[in-house]
Homo-oligomer: A and B are copies of this chain.
């Protein structure tokens, strides 16, 4: 007789059940922020890897430096100086398993359960989940088509502080904000830096979509505007290259970094993949960005034009971001995109309902539609099908 060992009462008080996650894909997959598969530089990554292995392959027998492969840190430091306008010593770049690991460490280092953290009114669901896991009360600050509204943020900081809930941190995605796609103008960033200094609240700047821009130029990074150490800066190679590479990085003041890395569950970022990424990007960064962004531009345009055809006159609005890989759909108030989500998935269109990005769960009439994965043609077809699904469910009407 095989009995089963009982774990009842044995688990850590801090532990929570976490199911294994298997991402799913609808026929028209607008659900997840994937980069374009057809621009995946697979052969070139192998060439980059071979180059790196020739130089330092035998070092793979070592346990890597805990801040990551030196060549990739040097490359990243140069990239930050050229692309984001601030200098950083490669020793102060910390390579992680994606920007998610970087954000999580910084959140755990700078918050305690029960504290308040401010974000944009809608915020990337992954980070929202991390903040909630850390026990933070997340408060969204008002936004418009250009992102955070500085005056409203100032007022929110004042009222929260007056109520005894002074925020421990502002978390923001200033470029191609996830999920809304907005880019915060440099002028507003400067105002927000002043506001954060006035209220004494540090900034966690998540810049992981900055490389995905097909119109115009990036705005100044918070980290470039403020050199006092108030800004921790996170970014990623997942979006520029491939999420399966699981490489991101952060730059923070030494004391912040040393607190953040204590929360990492692994000892170092993947050395093998770091060689491939550095080997590839050191030769092909601009060429790859051009390919990637040309693809994203065509895909966005296809989604936007199909939206115009199929949603015209219904009161629905779709954002037209200058970069990133998602648009933000606003349906008339009362349209429940949350309730429709699973039905739409089964009918062939995957999306994320606005409510999963809403600190206050008030986003039912919104949805994030990712345009990076499917072809332009499928983006057009998928938008037509989404309109059909909405109509079939009595949710698409001529505007008053």
Contacts and interface: CB of A to CB of B under 8 A. Distances in A.
A270 to B, nearest CB: 5
A193 to B, nearest CB: 11
Interface size class of A (residues with CB under 8 A): 35 or more
Contacts of A7: 202, 229, 253, 255-256
A19 interface: yes
Interface string A214-251: 00000000000001111000000000001111100000
B61 A36 contact: yes
A15 B271 contact: no
Interface in A183-237: 197, 202, 227-230
Nearest to A45: B272
26 contacts: A3-B228, A5-B230, A12-B109, A12-B259, A15-B109, A15-B259, A17-B255, A19-B258, A20-B65, A21-B65, A35-B61, A36-B61, A37-B61, A46-B53, A64-B244, A97-B270, A98-B266, A100-B267, A101-B265, A101-B267, A126-B267, A244-B272, A246-B270, A264-B265, A270-B270, A270-B272
B46 A62 contact: no
Interface string A50-86: 1001000111111111110000000000000000000
A361 interface: no
B65 A243 contact: no
A124 interface: no
Nearest to A130: B265
A332 to B, nearest CB: 32
A108 interface: yes
Query: How many chain copies?
Result: 2
A348 B342 CA distance: 64
Contacts of A105: 265
Interface string A1-34: 0111101001111111111111101000000101
A17 B273 contact: no
Contacts of A13: 112
Contacts of A228: 2-5
A295 to B, nearest CB: 12
